[in-house]
Amino acid sequence: MDITGTRALVTGGATGIGKAIAARLREKGAEVAIMGRRREPLEATAAELGAIALPGDVSVEADCVATVAACVERLGGLDILVNNAGYGHFAPLVEMEKADFEAVMATNVTGAMLMAREAAKQFVKQDSGNIVNIASTSGLRGGKGASAYSASKFALRSLSECWRAELRPSNVRVIHVNPSEVLTDFAAAAGYQQQAAPNKLIGEDIAHAVVSALEMHDRGFIPELSVWATNPF
């Protein structure tokens, strides 16, 4: 697709991978709306990128419905949804609290479903559209302490497959992206330390992969791709 003139909505768009994707889409000529829970950084990023700030929490159904509707109204339509909003909690199984586990699922799984549901209504109506789910290589292989996060990303991968099967007859492309470790503020928010290094991935690398996949001609699409650092050690 030619991204120039398209309308995109990026969840978790104020910082990190989401901000990088929104910036790349703007560079390519898309009109972009970004969604996030924290109003101040969201509005600052929107002002920086020339995007529209739509405050909201993907784990709240009413926010998802209102945000997609507002995006369609303010941009005059919607062509791309990037499900990027994500939350991490890491703990051994024997220390896992039910509330923490459910909070991860509420954002990473239920939130992605709610946003995709609302966007898909628009996409089916117009017989075109793109859903990009930002998952993780943790959704390909689990690890110690990652019960909640890894399970949520395995679930998102399953959702991508289901939506792909349902929406292809309506010319809707569902693209599933698995980043490995990316240097963002995600680690600090999830409660673990991340060692910065120039050979590790940054948000712009994931943005490049997403936009490159979207730019394929509409007659084809990349169902799933993983992005690894060449040598992060």
pLDDT digits (tens, 9 = 90+) for 69-97: 999 999 999 999 999 999 999 999 999 99
153 is catalytic: yes
Type of residue found at 1? M
**Assigned domain for 1 exists:** no
CA–CA dist 42, 181 (Å, integer): 23
CA–CA dist 108, 124 (Å, integer): 23
**Assigned domain for 88 exists:** yes
The boundaries of the domain holding residue 62 are 7-227
How far CA 35 is from CA of 11, 57, 118, 229, 233, in Å, comes to: 5, 8, 14, 28, 34
Q: Which helix (H) or strand (E) holds 215?
A: none
**Assigned domain for 2 exists:** no
Determine which one of 98, 149, 192, 200 is catalytic. 149
SS3 94: helix
Tokens of 66: 């209102």
CA–CA dist 65, 61 (Å, integer): 6
What residues does 133 pair with on adjacent strands?
Answer: 83, 176
**Assigned domain for 192 exists:** yes
Which CATH number does the domain housing residue 221 bear?
A: 3.40.50.720
Determine which one of 144, 153, 192, 200 is catalytic. 153
- Picking from 14, 118, 110, the residue whose alpha carbon sits closest to that of residue 64 is 118
Please give the model's pTM, rounded to 2 decimal places: 0.95
**What average pLDDT does the chain have?**
95
Q: What confidence tens digit (pLDDT) does each residue in 1-47 have?
A: 999 999 999 999 999 999 999 999 999 999 999 999 999 999 999 99
Q: What is the pLDDT of residue 191?
A: 63
**Assigned domain for 232 exists:** no
Tokens of 138: 């943790």
Q: What percent of the chain has pLDDT over 90?
A: 91
192 is catalytic: no
Q: How many domains does the chain have?
A: 1
Q: What is the pLDDT of residue 207?
A: 98
What integer is the mean pLDDT of 180-189? 79
How far, rounded to the nearest angstrom, does the alpha carbon of residue 150 sit from its chain's CA centroid? Answer: 16
pLDDT classification of 156: cutoffs 50, 70, 90: very high
Backbone angles phi, psi at 66, to 5 degrees: -65, -40
How far, rounded to the nearest angstrom, does the alpha carbon of residue 227 sit from its chain's CA centroid? Answer: 14
What integer is the mean pLDDT of 199-218? 97
- Picking from 84, 105, 80, the residue whose alpha carbon sits closest to that of residue 13 is 84
3-class SS letters over 44-79: HHHHHHCCEEEECCCCCHHHHHHHHHHHHHHHCCCC
SS3 181: coil
**Assigned domain for 58 exists:** yes
